[in-house]
Structure 1
C-alpha cells in the first residue's frame, strides 16, 4: 500500500465494488464456506493443499529445505524433506485455523490451554506494558485468538498491498485484537506500550543490518532486528517471551500457549548479547513444534562480506 494513500485501515470504499475487486469478493465467500466445514474435512484439504504447495512452489520449498538443513544439522536428508513438507501442510492447516478463528471461533472452545499468564498479569499490575516476543507461526491469527481467551492482546502487522484485502483482514482481526498497529507506526506502538498494553511482536525475520546486528540463530549468524531494545528502553515495558502451538492428535488438536517470565536486564548495554539472547529464546520455542514456523522465509538472506552464502 502506498504511503501516500488516504485509505484508513478497516474503512469501506465504494471503489471496492468495481469489477477489479470481484475476484477477491468471490474468494472471501469461498473461504467463509470453507470455515464452516467439519475439521475432519478441513485437515484433509489442508494436507492435500500443503503437499501441492510443496511440489509447486519450488523457490519456497528450496528455501525451507535449506533453512532446516542449516538449523537442524542433526536431521538426515530424509528427515529434512519430511519436515519441510510438513511445514507447508502446517501452513495450510494454519489458514483453516485462522478462518475458524475469524468465522467460527466456537470451534476452539475447550481446546486451548495456557501456562504462565501470571507473567503478563504481573507486568500489568506494575503498570507496565508487555512486549510479547513471539514468532511468525503457521497458526497465524488462530494463535492470537487463543491468546485473546485469556488476555487482551494488541498486534503489530504489515498492511496488505491490496486495500480491499487489507480492509477485510483488518475487520476480521478486529474481532481478536483490541488494537492493530502498523509496523511503521512506532509512535503508536510506543503509546500503547506506555498505556500498559500487551503487544505481540515478532523479532524473528531478516530485515538487514540498518536496524540490526549479526547474531547466532541455531548456531549460524543471522541479521537480527534490535528495534525491540529501543521500544523497551523508551517505554519501560516488560519483555515477555510468548509461544503458541498446535498439540496432540491432528484429528482432535489442542492449542497451547506458553508465556515465560519477563526477561531481566532487557535491554542491557550490549546490543549483540541482547539479540543473541532473544534468538536463543526463539530457538528453544521452535524446537517444541519445529514445523509450525514459517521456514519458507529467507531467514539468512543478509550475508555481509566474510560470511558464507546460505541460499
Structure 2
C-alpha cells in the first residue's frame, strides 16, 4: 500500500526560529560540552523517586458501558509486540481513518491551523492536519509500548540541554519542566525517566476505566502523579526538590489564567506555572525549564533503520516569575511555540486551544 503523503516541516513556508533537530548519535546518552566529563547524572546523585501505588481494579469496570474500551484494548495490545516499523504503519492507517471519521475533530484542527498559520495555503494546512492525525495514530502505539513494552525503545534516544536540568538539581533546586501535549506524550515521559526521575501533574479522566488504564500505565514512568487539585502533594514534591512535568498549553478558561498570544492569536493561558515557581524556598527557588520531544519516523530514515527520538531541554527562564502575569504567560507561550514550530504536526492541534476569549467562550468552532 502506498504510504500517505506527509507534511515536511523543512519545506514549510514559515521558517521557525528554532532549528529542526538533525539525526543525533544513537544511544541513551549524549555528551554535552556544558557538562564536564565524569559529572554524575541525576539518577546517580539523587535517589530515584519511589513509584506510586497503582489504582485498584473495580468490578464495575466489567459493566457493559465499559465494553467498548475493553474491546479496543484487547484489539491493540497484542499489536505492540510487532516490529516498530509495522506499528508505525498501523499507526498511520489508524490516523488516516480517524482523520476521515472524526469530522468535528478534523474541523477543529483545520480551524486551529488556519488561525495559527494564516500565511500558509489551504492545501498545505490540510496536509498538516492529516499528518497531525497520522502522528497521533502512531502515538497510540508509542503510548501502549511506553506502558507495557518500554525496552523496545533502547538505542533510539538522544538528548540536548540536559545540563540545564542537572545544574539546577545539583544546586538542590526543584525543576518545573514545561512540557506540551505532543502526540508522543507518554513516550516522552518514559524517555525523560531514563535520564532523570520526575513527577507529573495530571487531570483525572471523566471515564473511570480510561483513567484507571492511564494512571496505572504511568506508574511505570513517573515517580508520583500529582492531581491538579492536590496542592499538598505538589508542595511536597517541590520542597523535596523533584522534577515536575507540567503542560500549560491547553485552554482551561480564565478562572486561573489570562489572555496571552499563542501563534499570534489571543488565547486563554493558565498561569499555574508561575504560581508553582513561587512555592520553593528563597535559597532554592524552582527552575522553570521547557521540554520538547521530537520523533523522526521511519518514513524519513533509510530502509531498515529504527525510528529516532530527540529530547530538547531549554535554558532556565530567567527572572521568572515577574510581577506581571500576562508577561509571564506570554513568555511561556513564546517558548512553547518556538518548540512546537520544529514540527507543528507533532502537537495535538485537535484540541480547542482558542475556545475562550476575554469575555468567555468564543464561537469560532461552531
- Check whether TM > 0.5: yes
* 1:83 correspondence with 2:128: yes
In 2, the alpha carbon distance for the partners of 1:76 and 1:223 equals 27
Q: Superposed, which structure 2 residues align to 1:31-180 within 5 Å?
A: 31-180=76-225
Confirm or deny: 8 A CA contact 2:267 2:354 kept in the other structure. yes
Change in Cα spacing, 1:94 to 1:229, as seen in structure 2 (3 Å) is same
Match of 1:201 among 246, 257, 266: 246
Confirm or deny: 8 A CA contact 1:194 1:237 kept in the other structure. no
* 1:245 correspondence with 2:294: yes
Superposed displacement of residue 23, structure 1: 4.6
SS at structure 1 position matched to 2:236: helix
Confirm or deny: 8 A CA contact 1:137 1:293 kept in the other structure. yes
In 2, the alpha carbon distance for the partners of 1:114 and 1:239 equals 18
Change in Cα spacing, 1:308 to 1:179, as seen in structure 2 (3 Å) is closer
Stretches of structure 2 that go unaligned for 5 or more consecutive residues are: 1-52
Confirm or deny: 8 A CA contact 2:190 2:221 kept in the other structure. yes
Confirm or deny: 8 A CA contact 2:54 2:219 kept in the other structure. no
Partner of residue 5, structure 1: none
Deviation by residue 1:188-244 (Cα, 9 ceiling, x = unmatched): 112111211111101111111111111111111111111111111122211011111
Superposed displacement of residue 309, structure 1: 5.3
Confirm or deny: 8 A CA contact 2:262 2:334 kept in the other structure. yes
Confirm or deny: 8 A CA contact 2:355 2:362 kept in the other structure. no
SS at structure 1 position matched to 2:146: helix
In 2, the alpha carbon distance for the partners of 1:239 and 1:161 equals 30
Partner of residue 260, structure 1: 314
Superposed displacement of residue 26, structure 1: 4.1
Match of 1:281 among 316, 331, 335: 335
In 2, the alpha carbon distance for the partners of 1:17 and 1:219 equals 47
SS at structure 1 position matched to 2:261: strand
Superposed displacement of residue 281, structure 1: 0.3
- Total equivalences in the alignment: 304
Confirm or deny: 8 A CA contact 2:179 2:248 kept in the other structure. yes
Change in Cα spacing, 1:152 to 1:35, as seen in structure 2 (3 Å) is same
Confirm or deny: 8 A CA contact 1:46 1:96 kept in the other structure. yes
Partner of residue 29, structure 1: 74
Which structure has greater helix proportion? 1
Confirm or deny: 8 A CA contact 1:240 1:261 kept in the other structure. yes
Confirm or deny: 8 A CA contact 1:10 1:166 kept in the other structure. no
Superposed displacement of residue 73, structure 1: 2.0
In 2, the alpha carbon distance for the partners of 1:310 and 1:94 equals 28
Superposed displacement of residue 12, structure 1: 2.2
Partner of residue 55, structure 2: 10
* 1:192 correspondence with 2:237: yes
Stretches of structure 1 that go unaligned for 5 or more consecutive residues are: 1-7
SS at structure 2 position matched to 1:206: coil
In 1, the alpha carbon distance for the partners of 2:211 and 2:153 equals 25
